[in-house]
């Protein structure tokens, strides 16, 4: 799938407002809004006018966005400290969210989060902890899959992995995964120049990655993110344990900085921080590091390509528009294409023959190939179909920019013949050609 930039919440300058909107537009309610909903923390979330006036939210000349907790006011004990909570006006149902920051808030009694309502905590921690915690808070019928492929550690309760994400089942603790890297939160994260947090949310699940500054993938830096290049995520919620579509609906993006409260307050006694949380809150210099420094927050959406497959005895044509729309064709096109071709087979004849048939295709694409295919560039591959009952089935086994290998499960005892096919990129679309001299399959 190609991830196309849908909105850049934070981007330097206002010269390209139709595509990239500066956080300073918050004053015009175009992209973000500052909200004043109180949490359980010892905090006052200021409104937009107050936050800008008191210097708790502003954009530097270089385009970096600063949001911070008050670090200039001395308070009496048990008095709330001023801070900011900011939310997107736009709501999301899936997407690729990439946050580039120089600093995330930390310090004794500090509880910051970058999250989406519904709820997915992408970046969250307390005090001067060294490890970010990714957490999902949901309703019933949603749980982590311990066998899923991620590098973090599932948060435990009483020595047992807490895989139940239902907030009603565990005092809203949700299901959390702690990152292994001690540079994913706190002073070490800031000292090495910050980094990038990315969340991919689609029908295949929800996954989170983090990269310190020196390890940010080149595709992210170039603005063409390709999650398939990023390795194992630090945290993942798989669709087998939790439907990522029905359980997460109309999410807003939120940044906040809370003080004390349910997590930072309740864990304060064992944090190694001095005194009590309410005492810590009195001295403003204790919150010099309670600040977000944000370079960009970009939200990408899947690019859908819709076309029509028509097939004949030895030829199938996939027309998906102009050549400049064909960038980085992902394996899903070929999965759908091969399935459409396989479904036209007639095993009753003893050999697979393509019938005339039209199949509508809607295929999401990732950046699976390094560059735009050239006109008349050809990818070669092979189809190895099998018979399952009265149907021919094929399944994509592997893909790279040079070879598309399509294999199948449950191959017939006699073994079907192997056919070749070619994918040809032309100025008017993509063509899939079956080698007319090869049988598609036989019993």
Which of these is catalytic: 11, 54, 77, 124? 124
> Would you state the pLDDT for residue 119?
93
Q: Please state, in angstroms and rounded to a whole number, the distance separating the CA atoms of residues 407 and 393.
A: 9
Lowest mean pLDDT among 10-24, 79-93, 189-203: 10-24
More confident residue, 391 or 220: 220
Query: Do residues 342 and 387 lie in contact, with contact meaning Cβ atoms separated by under 8 Å?
Result: no
CB 287 within 8 A of CB 69: yes
Catalytic residue among 11, 17, 54, 119: 119
Provide the pLDDT confidence category of residue 59 given band limits of 50, 70 and 90.
Answer: very high
| pLDDT score recorded for residue 425 | 32
State how far the Cα of 303 lies from the Cα of 357, in Å rounded to an integer. Answer: 26
169 pLDDT band (50/70/90 cuts)? confident
Query: Residue 167 — pLDDT band, cuts 50, 70, 90?
Result: confident
Residue 395: CB atoms within 10 A of its CB come to 16
| φ and ψ at residue 262, rounded to 5 degrees | -60, -45
pLDDT at 179: 95
339-390 pLDDT per residue, tens: 444 443 333 222 222 222 233 323 222 222 323 333 333 333 333 333 333 2
Average model confidence (pLDDT) across the chain: 69
Q: What is the pLDDT of residue 77?
A: 94
User: What's the pLDDT score for residue 409?
Assistant: 26
Residue 221: the pLDDT is 94
Among the residue ranges 85-94, 248-257, 367-376, 398-407, the one predicted with the least confidence is 398-407
Convert the pLDDT of each residue in 255-269 to its tens digit: 999 999 988 888 899
- Our answer to whether residue 77 is catalytic in this structure is no
Compare 144 and 302 and report the one with higher pLDDT: 144
Mean pLDDT value of segment 36-53: 82
Burial (CB count within 10 angstroms: exposed 0-12, middle 13-18, buried 19+), residue 243: middle
pLDDT tier for residue 5 given thresholds of 50, 70 and 90: low
Instruction: Give dist(CA 211, CA 184) in Å, integer.
Output: 8
Integer CA distances (angstroms), 15 to 12, 26, 46, 99, 300, in order: 9, 16, 29, 21, 20
Q: What's the pTM value of the predicted model, to 2 decimals? A: 0.66
- State residue 32's pLDDT score: 44
**Across 26-35, 157-166, 321-330, least confident range:** 321-330
Q: Taking Cα atoms as reference points, which of 327, 314, 308 lies closest to residue 422?
A: 314
Give residue-wise pLDDT tens across range 187-196.
999 999 999 9
198-252 per-position pLDDT tens digit:
999 998 999 999 999 999 999 999 998 999 999 999 999 999 999 999 999 999 9
pLDDT at 3: 55
For residues 406-437, one letter each, b for 16 or more C-beta atoms within 10 angstroms of the residue's C-beta and e for the rest, the string is: bbbeebeeeebeebebebbbeeebbbbebeee
Q: What is the residue whose two structure tokens read 């210097």? A: 55
Alpha-carbon distance of 369 to 366, in angstroms, equals 8
Whether residue 173 is predicted with pLDDT greater than 60 in this model: the reply is yes
Whether 119 is catalytic: yes
Total Cβ atoms within 10 A of residue 394: 24
Tokens linked to 215: 């390890």
pLDDT classification of 184: cutoffs 50, 70, 90: very high
**Ordered domains of the chain (ranges, CATH):** 3-302 (2.60.120.200), 304-434 (no CATH)
In 10 A of CB 164, how many CB atoms? 20
pLDDT (mean) for 292-317: 60
């Amino acid at each position: 799938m190609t991830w196309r930039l849908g909105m850049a919440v934070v981007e330097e300058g206002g010269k390209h407002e139709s595509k990239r909107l500066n956080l300073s537009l918050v004053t015009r309610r175009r992209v973000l809004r500052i909200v004043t909903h109180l949490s359980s923390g010892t905090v006052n979330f200021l409104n937009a006018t107050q936050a800008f006036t008191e210097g708790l939210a502003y954009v530097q000349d270089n385009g970096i966005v600063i949001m911070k907790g008050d670090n200039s006011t001395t308070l009496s004990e048990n008095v709330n400290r001023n801070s900011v909570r900011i939310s997107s006006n736009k709501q999301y149902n899936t997407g690729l969210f990439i946050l580039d920051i120089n600093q995330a808030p930390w310090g004794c009694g500090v509880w910051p989060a970058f999250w989406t309502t519904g709820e997915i905590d992408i970046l969250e921690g307390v005090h001067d902890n060294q490890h970010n915690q990714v957490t999902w808070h949901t309703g019933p019928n949603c749980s982590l899959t311990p066998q899923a492929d991620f590098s973090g550690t599932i948060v435990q309760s009483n020595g047992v992995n807490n895989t139940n994400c239902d907030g009603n089942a565990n005092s809203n603790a949700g299901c959390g995964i702690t990152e292994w890297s001690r540079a994913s939160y706190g002073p070490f994260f800031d000292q090495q120049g910050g980094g990038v947090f990315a969340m991919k949310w689609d029908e295949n699940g929800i996954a989170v990655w983090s990269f310190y500054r020196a390890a940010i993938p080149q595709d992210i830096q170039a603005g063409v993110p390709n999650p398939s290049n990023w390795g194992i995520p630090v945290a993942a919620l798989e669709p087998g344990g939790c439907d990522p579509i029905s359980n997460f609906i109309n999410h807003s993006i939120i940044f906040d900085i809370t003080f004390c409260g349910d997590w930072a307050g309740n864990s304060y006694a064992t944090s190694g921080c001095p005194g009590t949380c309410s005492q810590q809150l009195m001295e403003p210099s204790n919150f010099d590091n309670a600040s977000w420094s944000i370079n960009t927050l970009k939200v990408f959406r899947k690019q859908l390509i819709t076309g029509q497959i028509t097939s004949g005895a030895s030829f199938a044509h996939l027309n998906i528009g102009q050549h400049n729309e064909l960038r980085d064709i992902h394996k899903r096109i070929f999965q759908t294409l091969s399935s459409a071709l396989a479904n036209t087979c007639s095993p009753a004849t003893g050999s697979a023959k393509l019938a005339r048939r039209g199949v509508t295709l809607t295929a999401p694409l990732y950046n699976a190939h390094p560059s735009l295919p050239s006109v008349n560039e050809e990818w070669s591959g092979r189809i190895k179909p099998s018979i399952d009952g009265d149907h021919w089935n094929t399944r994509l086994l592997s893909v790279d920019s040079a070879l598309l290998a399509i294999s199948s499960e449950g191959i017939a005892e006699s073994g079907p013949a192997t056919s070749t096919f070619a994918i040809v990129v032309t100025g008017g679309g993509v063509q899939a050609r079956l080698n007319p001299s090869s049988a598609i399959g036989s019993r």
